[in-house]
């Protein structure tokens, strides 16, 4: 015993693994078990008890989650973002069953359509859609949400062990993982994912890969055998959730600098891993970059803290006050985090397992400050315009979890170590095994005390979640038979969209149970207007300005049907079509997917300005008079350049026959006009649109606000619009496999070197 340290196991470990360097320090009470730098631990009695206790903790908290969150497996409509995610899974399943690649198809249901699988992180929906071909898309989505939340502690434990944390420290971190609560509510916490929360399913999927990406990256810095696992985890994280992918790549950049020994080797490995991961993810990132100018920036959220981050002052205040980990309750996790930080900084030079947790905690915190703090410096981050910087708080919580586990574990070791010194002064007998067991039991006891307020708070929240799900199920069982005939009618009449309200027009009050009807329609895959701001469609921003009292807006957005509560009257001229219980369907005769207009000038804008300047078009009478400006797109944010309105007679003529097939991205019509005009399809513009006029390919154009148009001659014209998506995926997949193959080859060489 030297200064409170037991050296026998350390000497044994150095003899059996001379490549590990363990530096001894004289801090009383911290045993050498804390200095285990690798995932392999001795099977001696004290460490065996530690492993058993850690398994008990992880198993207990996982069973707790499985029982308390079981209502999440019930199939009901979602009142949050999960309604869109579930729709994506159904879309993926339908296309895979039809032998089509979802990423190349037109996603027609929301915000006037978009290539959603190209613009948005698609891997989670693709994997769930593939499983859905066997188990059913809806069942797959609900059970995936339930199990991904319930079993997340297992991933935290596995990643902590790969980092090299002691068994019990990893078990404590995993045990604390389901109980985080923050002010923003969008981190690794139940509020972000549950039915009564925000429904952030894509982030939930990536929460399983980010911890493993960090841990395998840490191991790959000195052991190239971990190159391929690290590359796979990083690529998967990028494909599942883009903001989480930034944190996975940030680990590759930061971790080489956390240890100065063998710095050249670490830097070379990091460079290789970064290159392989970037090349390996081109299947997801390259199409997005190539088509980025056609993906709208959320101009309403861009200037707010939701996108720019809340800033250093606010984030640090939340952290210090306990509102990042323990909002609304006693800040027990925050105190444990503080202990872990203090001990981690004290042992930073001697305990390598502390370094990645502290490093990524700090880097994530700095990133979360966003442009609110960093200003133009944040522009160096690729794709910064599309990032929601507040989401980087997930890295703060993840790094904090490891520190919470280490803080409780090392704190218990310090207390027992002090007791051990007192015992040794009075007795010459060895009591190390008993005191090691006491240390482990004390750590578990501390965890139990810490979890009491968290358990109480989360239990109340889970019961509230279960009660609301049951309430929604009961409401749907009463309303679905009434809504079914209207849904069946809409599915067989592809001549326009349906409007059932929106958040800005009081649509939140038209509900089935707790879910607005415009979200219920998403559950039936109905082409609708009103479920706003869900995609990167260029029409997503203009849709937010829809005025239900303006008849012209119905033509712009292709709204042919209104779904209202029985007894309510529409704001525009409409014909009652169907009445079914509490629901009434109205038809707006003057509106459909198609309109004939005369080009009336040029409106120069880009993806960042379209929301602001589309108001000029929507509030003018030009579209109603048969005039519409052509859009001239700029790749950079140069803003508004002006509109030159051309005077002239309005178009005389109309649509005589209309055929639409929205699920396949095909629209056909016959028009008759007395002079040359532009036929406008009320779908979001994208360069993938192709048009045929009387069987001849004709270039499409962007028409204000951001619709698809094609020139038609005087007389009768048969027009067909077809969407042809991005076609370079096979080549990109080959490139991605090449990047991963490079990592595999280097890892294979390392294995050969180990054997020889």
What is the model's pLDDT at position 435? 65
What is the average pLDDT value for the chain, to the nearest integer? 85
| Residues 638, 643, 644, 648, CA torsion sign | positive
What is the model's pLDDT at position 39? 37
Output 484-487 pairs: Cβ under 8 A, ≥24 positions apart: 484/580, 485/578, 485/580, 486/563, 486/578, 486/580, 486/583, 486/585, 487/524, 487/526
The pTM is what? Answer: 0.89
Please give the average per-residue pLDDT across 15-23, as a whole number: 31
Please give the average per-residue pLDDT across 391-407, as a whole number: 95
User: Which has the closest alpha carbon to 53: 433, 451, 439, 455?
Assistant: 439
Order of all β-strands in the sheet with 653-661 = 653-661, 666-673, 715-723, 689-693, 696-698
Neighbours of 135 (CB within 10 A): 13
pLDDT digits (tens, 9 = 90+) for 727-736: 999 999 999 9
Rounded to whole angstroms, the Cα distance separating 500 from 486 reads: 12
From 314-318, 394-398, 631-635, 641-645, the region with the lowest mean pLDDT? 641-645
| Residues 109, 720, 115, 557, CA torsion sign | negative
What is the model's pLDDT at position 624? 61
**Cα 227 to the chain's mean position, in Å?**
25
User: 576 near 663, Cβ under 8 Å?
Assistant: no
pLDDT digits (tens, 9 = 90+) for 333-347: 999 999 999 888 888
pLDDT digits (tens, 9 = 90+) for 549-582: 988 899 899 999 999 999 999 999 999 999 999 9
- pLDDT of 517 higher than 50: yes
What is the model's pLDDT at position 22? 30
What is the model's pLDDT at position 397? 97
515 by DSSP, 3-state: which?
A: strand
- pLDDT of 408 higher than 90: no
Strands 559-565 and 497-499: parallel
What is the model's pLDDT at position 359? 94
**Cα 164 to the chain's mean position, in Å?**
28
Output 226-231 pairs: Cβ under 8 A, ≥24 positions apart: 226/747, 227/269, 227/272, 227/273, 227/276, 227/743, 227/744, 227/746, 227/747, 227/750, 228/740, 228/743, 228/744, 228/747, 230/273, 230/277, 230/743, 231/273, 231/276, 231/277, 231/280, 231/739, 231/740, 231/743
Strands 689-693 and 627-633: unpaired
What is the model's pLDDT at position 11? 30
pLDDT digits (tens, 9 = 90+) for 463-502: 999 999 999 999 999 999 999 999 999 998 888 999 999 9
**Cα 269 to the chain's mean position, in Å?**
29
- pLDDT of 674 higher than 70: yes
Rounded to whole angstroms, the Cα distance separating 9 from 42 reads: 9
Residue 598 makes CB contacts below 8 A (sequence gap 6+) with 626, 627, 628, 646, 648, 649, 650, 651, 677, 678
pLDDT bin (cut points 50, 70, 90) of residue 33 is very low
User: 715 near 709, Cβ under 8 Å?
Assistant: no
What is the model's pLDDT at position 302? 86
- pLDDT of 83 higher than 70: yes
Strands 594-605 and 677-684: antiparallel
Please state the domain extents for the chain.
Answer: 8-68+151-184+310-459, 197-291+728-756, 480-587, 594-723
What is the model's pLDDT at position 428? 43
pLDDT digits (tens, 9 = 90+) for 621-670: 666 656 656 666 543 333 322 222 222 334 455 566 555 555 678 899 98
pLDDT digits (tens, 9 = 90+) for 661-671: 556 788 999 88
- pLDDT of 19 higher than 50: no
Neighbours of 28 (CB within 10 A): 12
- pLDDT of 388 higher than 80: yes
Phi, psi of 680, rounded to the nearest 5 degrees:
-105, 125
What is the model's pLDDT at position 424? 53
Please give the average per-residue pLDDT across 73-87, as a whole number: 97
Beta-strand ranges (E) seen in 46-168 are none
Rounded to whole angstroms, the Cα distance separating 304 from 388 reads: 10
What is the model's pLDDT at position 180? 95
pLDDT-above-90 percentage for the chain: 62
User: Which has the closest alpha carbon to 49: 147, 168, 143, 138?
Assistant: 168
């Amino acid at each position: 015993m030297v200064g409170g340290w037991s050296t026998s196991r350390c000497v044994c470990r150095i003899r059996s693994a001379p490549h590990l360097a363990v530096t001894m320090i004289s801090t009383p009470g911290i045993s050498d078990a804390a200095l285990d730098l690798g995932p392999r631990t001795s099977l001696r009695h004290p460490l065996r008890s530690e492993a058993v206790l850690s398994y008990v903790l992880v198993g207990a908290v996982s069973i707790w989650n499985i029982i308390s969150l079981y209502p999440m497996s019930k199939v009901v409509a979602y009142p949050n973002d999960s309604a869109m995610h579930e729709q994506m899974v159904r879309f993926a399943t339908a296309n895979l069953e039809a032998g089509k690649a979802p990423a190349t198809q037109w996603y027609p249901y929301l915000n006037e359509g978009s290539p959603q699988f190209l613009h948005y992180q698609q891997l989670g929906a693709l994997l769930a859609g593939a499983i859905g071909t066997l188990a059913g898309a809806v069942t797959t989505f609900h059970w995936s949400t339930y199990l991904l939340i319930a079993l997340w502690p297992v991933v935290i434990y596995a990643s902590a062990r790969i980092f090299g944390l002691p068994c019990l420290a990893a078990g404590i971190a995993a045990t604390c993982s389901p109980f985080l609560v923050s002010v923003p509510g969008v981190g690794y916490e139940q509020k972000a994912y549950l039915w009564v929360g925000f429904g952030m399913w894509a982030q939930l999927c990536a929460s399983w890969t980010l911890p493993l990406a960090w841990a395998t990256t840490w191991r790959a810095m000195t052991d190239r055998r971990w190159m391929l696992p690290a590359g796979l985890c990083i690529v998967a994280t990028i494909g599942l959730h883009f903001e989480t992918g930034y944190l996975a790549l940030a680990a590759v950049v930061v971790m080489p600098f956390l240890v100065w020994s063998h710095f050249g080797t670490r830097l070379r490995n990091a460079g290789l891993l970064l290159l392989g991961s970037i090349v390996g993810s081109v299947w997801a990132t390259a199409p997005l970059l190539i088509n980025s100018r056609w993906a709208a920036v959320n101009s309403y959220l861009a200037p707010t803290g939701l996108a720019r981050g809340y800033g250093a002052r606010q984030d640090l205040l939340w952290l210090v006050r306990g509102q990042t980990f323990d909002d609304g309750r006693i800040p027990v996790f925050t105190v444990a985090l503080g202990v872990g930080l203090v001990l981690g900084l004290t042992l930073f030079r001697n305990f390598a397992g502390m370094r990645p947790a502290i490093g990524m905690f700090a880097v994530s915190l700095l990133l979360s400050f966003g442009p609110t703090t960093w200003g133009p410096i944040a522009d160096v981050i690729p794709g910064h315009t599309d990032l929601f910087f507040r989401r980087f708080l997930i890295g703060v919580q993840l790094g904090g979890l490891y520190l919470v586990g280490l803080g409780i574990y090392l704190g218990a070791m310090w207390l027992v170590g002090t007791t051990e010194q007192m015992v040794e002064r009075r007795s010459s007998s060895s009591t190390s095994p008993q005191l090691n067991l006491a240390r482990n039991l004390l750590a578990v006891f501390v965890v139990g005390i810490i979890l009491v307020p968290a358990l109480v708070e989360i239990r109340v929240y889970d019961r509230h979640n279960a009660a609301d799900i049951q309430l929604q199920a009961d409401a749907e069982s009463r309303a679905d038979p009434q809504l079914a005939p209207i849904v069946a009618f809409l599915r067989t009449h592809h001549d326009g969209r349906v409007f059932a309200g929106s958040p800005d027009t009081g649509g939140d009050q038209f509900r089935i149970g707790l879910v607005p009807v415009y979200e219920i329609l998403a559950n039936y895959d109905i082409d609708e207007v009103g479920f706003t701001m869900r995609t990167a469609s260029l029409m997503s921003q203009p849709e937010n300005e829809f005025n239900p009292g303006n008849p012209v807006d119905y033509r712009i957005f292709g709204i042919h049907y209104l779904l209202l509560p029985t007894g309510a009257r529409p704001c525009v001229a409409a014909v009652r079509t169907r009445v079914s219980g509490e629901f009434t369907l109205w038809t707006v005769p003057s509106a459909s997917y198609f309109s004939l207009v005369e080009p009336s000038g040029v409106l120069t804008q880009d993806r960042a300005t379209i929301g602001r300047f589309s108001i000029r078009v929507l509030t003018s009478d030009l579209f109603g008079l048969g005039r519409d400006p052509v859009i001239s797109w700029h790749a950079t944010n140069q803003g508004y350049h002006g509109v030159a309105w051309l005077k002239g007679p309005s178009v005389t003529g109309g649509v005589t026959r209309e055929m639409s097939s929205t699920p396949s991205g095909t629209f056909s019509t016959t028009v008759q006009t007395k002079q040359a005009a532009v036929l406008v399809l009320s779908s979001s513009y994208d360069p993938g649109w192709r048009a045929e006029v009387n069987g001849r390919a004709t270039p499409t154009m962007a028409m204000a606000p951001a619709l698809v148009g094609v020139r038609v001659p005087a007389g009768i014209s048969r027009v067909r619009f077809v969407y042809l998506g991005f076609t370079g995926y096979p080549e990109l997949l080959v490139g991605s496999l090449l990047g991963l193959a490079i990592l595999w080859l280097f890892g294979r060489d390392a294995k050969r070197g180990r054997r020889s």
